[in-house]
Structure formats: structure tokens, C-alpha cells
Structure 1
Amino acid sequence: MSDRRFRFGVVGSPRTGAEWMTTVRRAAELGYSTVLMPDVLYLPAPFPSLAMAAAVADIRVGTFVAAAPLRTPRQTAWDAHTLTTLTDGRFDFGIGTGRPDAERQTVEVGLPWGNGRERREQVVETLDLLRQLDGERRTPIMLAAGGPKALALAAERADIVSLAKDATTPRSEVADLAKHLRDLAGSRADDIELAMNIFAAGTRPLPAWTKQAAGIEPEALEAMDSLMLLRGTPRQMADELLRRRETIGATYITVNADYLEDLAPVVDLLTGE
């Protein structure tokens, strides 16, 4: 389905600067192409964290993903453009309308949550402002999309699309969503990189936080062969990712930093393939 080559990223959740620097340096050593930071108030702020990461390793950095309601469009565009400038183009700007729990966070920062249409308009305004600030140098855009309107926006504006579906979504539904994205994108379809996030890889038992993250018992998640998991030996995991590229089109694979070492042999097997 896709002849795009694989690349891999690490999604951090550091509590200290030392922990973050260790993750960034190790990711670069192991051949990951990017390190990414979520946008949640209980972790360090993403933009300064990514600036720090780009300064200590030759690796791309990205937001995963910035929640539009947590800042004004002008502030977000300014931060994104600044990272593109200071990293000499090594920044991927991930943005979305915000997960449901982001509503509480907007209250904490004193900004309105808004309805779905208003949050999408914030995303569009941010992208328009960023384009003006960038000028000739264009920041790659990553959009998280699951619903019809977000998917249409991603088809029109994104360079990278992360399909925003939960861990229990059947493979066939994700494949259909990816096909719908390509249909909407039309002539742009081949220019869009499809991203897939993995929160557990390898053979280690799933951690206790799996249930909180996925809303389902770890055993049930494994039994349903969730796309959020990548299990087995390095060769088995590599073969599974090859199948996902063939059936869904996903080639940009990101993993929770706790599993950075577990996925590393697969990164070695598939990077550039």
C-alpha cells in the first residue's frame, strides 16, 4: 500500500532534566529519528523541553501533540516557528484540538475550552499564523485526526497524520480510516506520512498503567491484538510493522520512552526500509 520508508520516534514523559537528556541522547544513539513531547500540565512544557533536546543531540524534535486550547493561536505559532528557526528545521509541529482531559487544563491556564468547531478553528488559525511567520521555510505539520471534520482538515493541511483512535479500535476500522484519509487527500495522498503510536513493545509484561491508558485490562488488550501493542521478538515485530505498512500505510512509528530499548532492534532492522 505504501512505499514510504520507515522512521521511528520516542515519546517522552520526563520528570527531570537529567531523565529527559538521557532519553534524548539514547534515542539518537539507537537510530530513532525523533523525540517527542506530549502537551499536558503534569509534564514539563513541550516547547522549551524540545529546544533543550535539539541542543544536546542531532535528532528531530516534535510536539505530540500541542493542544490548541492551551494557548492562543499567536502564542502557539510563535513557539512553533521559534523551534523551527532555532533547530535549523529539525522541528515537526504536532497540533490537535485537545484530548477530553485537556478541558480541565484549559481552566487551569485561564483559557476557554470551546466547542469542537471553535477548537478546530483555533488549529486552522494557528497553522495560518505559522505559515506567515515561517515564510519560505515551512514547518512540517502533524495533525491528530479521528472524526470526519478533523480528518478533512488533516487531508488538506497535514504532512503527518496520527489517526486518533483508542486502543480497542479494530484493525479493519483503522485501515478504513486511513483509506478515507487518502481519498480525501486526493493528489496529496502520497505526500502524507501516516503515524502510529505504540505504548508497549517486545515481550515484557504490560505495565500496571496500561489499564488507565487504554481503559481496558492488559490481558484483554493483548487478546484483541490491539494496534497499540507490538509484541514478540525483533523479527516478529518487524514483520508485523511491515504488515501494517501494507494494510494501513503506517510508516512513522512512535513508542513510549519506557520501551525505547525494547523497540531498538526493530529500529535497526527497518529504518530506511
Structure 2
Amino acid sequence: MSTPTRAAFPGAGALRETGRLFALGLDVLRLLPKRPFQFREFVQQCWFIAGVTILPTALVAIPFGAVIALQLGSLTEQLGAQAFTGAASVLAIIQQASPIVTALLISGAGGSAICADLGSRKIRDEIDAMEVLGVSPVQRLVVPRVLAAMLVAVLLNGMVSVVGVLGGYFFNVIMQGGTPGAYMASFGALARLSDVWVGEFKALVFGFIAGVVASYRGLNPPPGPKGVGEAVNQSVVVTFLLLFAVNFIVTLLYLQIFPAQRM
């Protein structure tokens, strides 16, 4: 009986890459409590990621909240349920829109920079030199960057939630003639503190995914400078796919554990 060749398993390469990606994520979790912790590198990465993402995130949050408020306001008006506009729009922003917007910008701006930095180090043989000297590249370079992406994602998610809610309130009350009291009353009646926590938890997980994927592609780029550019594109695309899949899973579990309230 002939032995199966590699050509018989076209998905073997993808499975191998997936396994290595998960292995890197587990290594990051394992090395988190290990000392010494690269605190200076962590602070630098936090400052850099926040610097390249805070302004785009704030600018994107305003139209995102406005679109959600306008769409839901129009729908609730057709159904004769204008009193529920505030609850629907605010919960949609806090639970869904805010973590996704934050994670996409963290991945597109911060993650791409992380991937390009590690990829350039790899093609200059700096990563190999660190391994020869007995220094773990994961602990020295990857862990601070992943932690920085997680922290900045959580902080930016709070900012996006506030900006999005204020934008939705403004457009619903000013442009659609909604009642400020009804907008806030419906939000207070249906929203729970757990809705805020699930949004922050999503941002934390999404930041971890963005940091791990960007670091993995940066440590394993195709040869040459062109390969680094390809690795950056791949990291952004893979992160986007994982974010939407994980968002669906987390949302499904949350709705099973905390069913929607009734007024």
C-alpha cells in the first residue's frame, strides 16, 4: 500500500500553520507570569499602539454610533416603538460595535506595525541571534507587544463606547426628533452592568488575538522585504476572520448565560 504524499493533503500546510499559531498563543499565556518582565518594552509598545490608533478610533466611533442610531431609530419609528431606540442603539454599540471597531483598528494600525517590526528583525537575523544567545524572542519581544495590544484595546473600547453613545444620542435626538428622556430611560431599563463587562472582555480577547497573529506572522515571514509586506497583509486578514468568528461565539455564550431582559 502506497504511502500518502504531501500532495494528497492540500490542507496540511494550513493546519500546520494553525497549530503553530495556537502554540504561540499558549506560549504567550505560559510566559506571562515569568520574570524578568520587559516593562520598558511594554510601556513603549503601549504608547506606540495608542498613538497610532486613538485618533482614528475616535473618528470612526462617531459615524458608527450615528449609523446605528439612525437605522434603529428609523426602524423603531416604523414599528411604533420609538421609546426603545435608546436601549437598542446603546446596547448594539456597547456589546457589538465598540469591541469590533476597536479590534479592527488595533489590528490594522498597531498589529500591522508589530508584524512589520518583528518581520524586519527576522530577515535581519536578529531573532536567530537572540535564540543563539539563549534569549527567548517570545518572552523578550512578543509578550510585551501582546499585553500592550490587550491593554490599549480595553482602554480604547471604553472611549469608543462613550463616543459612540454620545454620537447616537445626538443624531437620534437632534436629527430624528427623539425625546432625550425616553432615550435615556429605555437604556437604563434594559442595559445591565454585564453588558459593559462583556464589551470589555471582547476587547481584551480581540487585543490578544490581534497581538498573537501579528507576532506570529512577523516571526514567520516569507523571505525578503517583499515577504514582510505579504506577512503584514496576511496578519490583518487572518485577524479580521478570527475576530468575527470569536465575536459570534462570545455573543452566543453571553446570551445563553444572561438572557435578554424584558421591560
- TM-score interval for Structure 1 and Structure 2 normalised by the shorter chain: under 0.3
Please identify which structure carries the higher strand content.
1
Q: How does the TM-score come out when normalised to structure 2?
A: 0.24
TM-score under structure 1 normalisation? 0.24
Greater share of residues in helix: 2
Q: Which has the higher contact order (CA 8 A, sep 6+)?
A: 2
